A and B are shown apart, each in its own frame.
Chain A
Amino acid sequence: MFPYLSLILWLPALGALALLATPREQHQTARSIALAVSLLTFVISLALPLRFNAADPSMQFVEQVAWIPQWGISYHLGLDGLSLWLVVLTTFLIPIALFATWNSIHAQVRYFQILMLLLETAMIGVFIALDTILFYLFWEFTLIPMAFMIGIWGSGNRIYAARKFFLYTFAGSVLMLMGIIGLSFLHRDATGAELTSFSLTQIMGDIRTGAFALEFGMEQLLFGLFFIAFAIKVPMWPFHTWLPDAHVQAPTAGSVILAGVLLKLGTYGLIRFNLSLFPNASEWAAPAIGILAVIGIIYGAWIAFAQTDMKKLVAYSSVSHMGFIVLGIFALNEIGITGAVLQMVNHGLSTGALFLIVGYIYERRHTREMSEFGGLWTVMPIYGGLALVMVLSSVGLPGLNGFIGEFAIMQGAFISPALGWGYVAVSVIGVVLAAVYLLRMYRETFMGEVNKPENAELKDLSGGEIGMMVALLVPIVVIGLFPTLFFAPMQASISEVAQAFRSVVAEGQ
């Protein structure tokens, strides 16, 4: 079998190595190489959905090589319906982000591209690693390039933001390391194996067959250790405070990747680890986590509403949107989790697009205050039109992608025995608020008369910028019109995750 996953995983890292060999001053060469490598990665990754067997719930494209055999740690990769679209999303967003830096990053260009490619490897690695230590390795390694991107190329209070980003996530992940260690030793003792195993598939399989049953108290502890790590990454209220800082200071490309992919690592981890490994504890914690998610939805929307800085507004809207995704996950049923996974992709696309939109205007005017703008539509009609579509996608207009995901999440939460209609009722307020603050932003900046002389002469989008927007627009529309295309490959894997809860629920009734 052709090692697709290894190729996709290591190609960007190899590209980064190649970049090290390019001359420091030739910015254009560095940009071109990085873009070419990431585009190539994207093209290869398109083979994944094409060759993916949607009927098979187990891992596909599996590669396994012994790494530290003494501890049962292996280089173990695989892809299932849960990670398929997230990998493609990653490979898709990286070239866009790299292209977005073409005219905005001028200092130490080569290193920026290197970090971006390393980040791509790390993020893909998180999605396809099936060994907990390998997962942890990639998980931690996403921190370093991102912190550097914020700290070196960011604006204003960049060092503070980079430090906060790193330390928050690091504090969470060391707890996860403890959880990983504990899980493997408990697994070893329960199954009577001689060696520890850090293979996720093996531990998961033993949990599903009942060969590895955790004591409830221990399950709660491990659930908590993993949950804190992922909740900080998502970020869930009240762990969200690093996010606005990081977003506001990060360069546009960094924000796109941060919102587009990095936050998804958290929600992916919640499904892959918390739900799959600790079904009983998930059941136990779901109502409380649902409340945190709903608080996040309302709080994020409320704070976003109060923002005058467009980037901050989009950043807080992320807190709100990620709350929806967590709500869908902890509905603990197929429809909710499916909606959540789709919404992860949606959020990556539309929020990434919104950050680009803010980035375009920032490059032209070097401000993101809404009061500085007005009537941009008349000056930049193409920009205005594309921005409108992206805003509507984020709001959740039927026919575009956001609607499908949010609807599935609501439905899942509604029929979920763990959550119920109360959660849905409150989170609907979040949807309404999202419409209010996003449309208000659009109205204040694009509608009305041109009220500032500086804005009258602004150039509309260039060909490249339009190209990026269109590239993002295609999946947004396709998901909105043909959601089944995207749902189908997820179904089998997600129903296997949800299976555990159906049995628990059935016993309870």
Chain B
Amino acid sequence: MISAVPLEWVLILASGLFCVGLFGALSRRHAVSMLMGIELMLNAVNINLVAFWRYTQPDEVGGMIFALFVIVVAAAEAAVGLAMAIAIYRTWQTVNVDSVDSLRG
């Protein structure tokens, strides 16, 4: 199965996913959508990490462990992010980042 799918393909998939996430994070104005974009970026990284681990050094655990760490961190980030989005919604009645704009100068 490894020989069937070269590493490059997986990497291209991951970078494509990363770009989709990047685009989402940059183009969306809704805080939750932006968070979703960022999650996509992180998941692209996970694909990368797992692929590198499986293809280049399956005997070490570093890459796999790192992927686990990334998942945990992404979850923590999402938890704080969503909590903040809810808090913002309570005061501003919106989570559109263009409307949430009182700081400037």
**Complex: A in contact with B (CB within 8 Å):** no
Enumerate chain A interface residues (CB-CB to B < 8 A): none
Enumerate chain B interface residues (CB-CB to A < 8 A): none
